[in-house]
Amino acid sequence: MLAVLGGFAEVERDLIRTRNQRRDRIRDRAQRCRRDDLDEMRRVLKPGGRLLFVEHGLSPEIRIARWQHRLTPYWKWICGGCHPDRKMDDLIRAAGFQVDAVETGYMKGPKPWTFMFQGWATKQE
Inter-residue contact 122 to 69 (CB < 8 Å): no
CATH of residue 31's domain is: 3.40.50.150
Share of the chain above pLDDT 90, in %: 38
Pairwise CA distance, residues 117 & 125, whole Å: 24
Confidence of residue 4 (pLDDT cuts 50, 70, 90): very low
Flag whether 55 is in a domain: yes
pLDDT score, position 83: 83
Residue range 14-67, pLDDT digits in tens: 444 545 666 655 655 555 566 667 887 788 788 888 888 888 899 999 999 999
State the residue range of the domain holding 24: 13-123
Flag whether 61 is in a domain: yes
pTM of the model: 0.74
Which has more confidence, 53 or 2? 53
The total number of structural domains that make up the chain:
1
Burial (0-12, 13-18, 19+ Cβ within 10 Å), 54: buried
Statement: residue 11 has pLDDT above 50: no
Flag whether 3 is in a domain: no
Pairwise CA distance, residues 83 & 76, whole Å: 6
Inter-residue contact 99 to 119 (CB < 8 Å): yes
Pairwise CA distance, residues 83 & 17, whole Å: 22
Flag whether 72 is in a domain: yes
Instruction: State the amino acid at position 71 in one-letter form.
Output: L
